[in-house]
Amino acid sequence: MTATSKSATSRPATMSRPAALRADDVSVVIDGRTLVGNVSLEVAPGEVVALVGPNGAGKSTLLRTFYRALRPTSGWVSLDGEDVWRMTGRWLAQRLAAVLQEAPGEFELTVYDVVAMGRTPHKRMFQGDDADDRRIVMGALADLDVADLAQAPFDRLSGGEKQRVLIARALAQRAGTMVLDEPTNHLDLRHQLDALQLLRRLEVTAVVALHDLNMAAAFCDRICVMDAGRLVAVGPPAEVLTASLLAEVYRVDAEVSHHPRTGVPQISVVPGSPFGMSHRPDADGAIST
C-alpha cells in the first residue's frame, strides 16, 4: 500500500466490481516492427498500477490492447479470466472504462452530453437519460470540478478542462476497472492531485500510464517500467525507482530520496548530467507509443 490510502467509503451501488486485469505474453507487431514484445502483467482487483517509461516505450500500445482498441499479434488480455476479444463490446464497456491521450475532435456537444456518453453501455438503444443517469453524470462532473461547465460547448474548453471532462465520462461509466493513458496530461498541479486521489477513493482496478514518477510513487501500489516495448521492472515504488534503473531506462542522472512525511520515493534529476545531451540508442525494432 502506498502512503496515499484508499478511502473507507464504499463504491456507488451502480458501479461494477473491480476485476482482475491480465496480459499474458502480449506482443504487438505492426508492419514488421515490434511495438510490444512478450509482456505479461496481472493487476489484482482494486490495485492501482502505474505504467511508466520513456517516450516510445510501448505504454500506449499495451494499454490499447487492454480496452480492445488494438488486437495483440500474439498473447491475450483477460478481465476476470474472460478473454476480452471473446466478449461483446457492451459487456466490456460495462466493466472497463478508458481515458485516452487523444481528446476527440471538435464536435457540437456540451460538456454534459460528453459525460453522459459514459452511461451508454448501461442503456438500451434510443433510451433517454433517467433521474439516476442525471445524478451520476452531475456527480462525475462535480468530482472533477467541472460541474459549472455542464452546458458549455466541449470544443471550446482548454486542454485541461477537456481532460477532466473525459475522466468524468469514464467515471460516469461506473466500470470497476479503468485504463488511463496519461490522465494528468494538461492538468495543473491541484487537479493532478485531485484526479489521482479520486482514483484511489473509487477502489477500482486501474492501470495508469504516467510520466510523473513522483506522482506514480505517491498514488500507485506498484510501478511497471517499460523500455523498448518490454517490461523491464515491476514492483512497489521503493523497489523499482532506483537511481540505477533511471540511468538505464531514462538515461538521466537522478537522486532518489524519501519524502520526510509520507516516506514514498522522490526523484530529483541532476541538471547537467552526462546523459543530458545524449540520444538513446535505437533498440531492435522501432518502438512507438
Tens-place pLDDT, residues 127-179: 777 888 899 999 999 999 999 999 999 999 999 999 999 999 999 999 999 99
Amino acid at 132: D
Q: What is the pLDDT of residue 15?
A: 76
Residue owning grid cell 514514498:
264
pLDDT of residue 5: 35
Confidence of residue 200 (pLDDT cuts 50, 70, 90): very high
Cell of 185: 496530461
d(CA 218, CA 129) in angstroms, rounded, equals 37
Q: What is the pLDDT of residue 62?
A: 97
Look up the CATH number of domain 21-269.
Answer: 3.40.50.300
User: Cα(153)–Cα(135) distance, rounded to whole angstroms?
Assistant: 20
Sheet of strand 21-30: strand arrangement: 33-43, 21-30, 74-79, 82-83
The pLDDT mean for the chain works out to 87
More confident residue, 204 or 2: 204
Give CA torsion, residues 121, 125, 128, 129, to 10 deg.
-10
Convert 82-110 into a string of H (helix), E (strand) and C (coil).
EEHHHCCHHHHHHHEEEECCCCCCCCCCE
d(CA 25, CA 10) in angstroms, rounded, equals: 34
| Helical spans, DSSP H, in the chain | 59-66, 89-95, 111-116, 131-143, 159-172, 189-202, 213-219, 237-240, 243-250
pLDDT of amino acid 103: 64
Helix (H, G, I), strand (E, B) or coil at 152: coil
Please report which confidence band the pLDDT of residue 274 belongs to, taking 50, 70 and 90 as the band edges.
low
Query: What is the pLDDT, as a whole number, of residue 20?
Result: 97
The pTM of this model reads: 0.85
- Cell representation of residue 124: 438500451
Domain ranges of the chain: 21-269
Would you state the pLDDT for residue 278? 42
Cα separation, 252 vs 269, whole angstroms: 7
d(CA 197, CA 191): 10
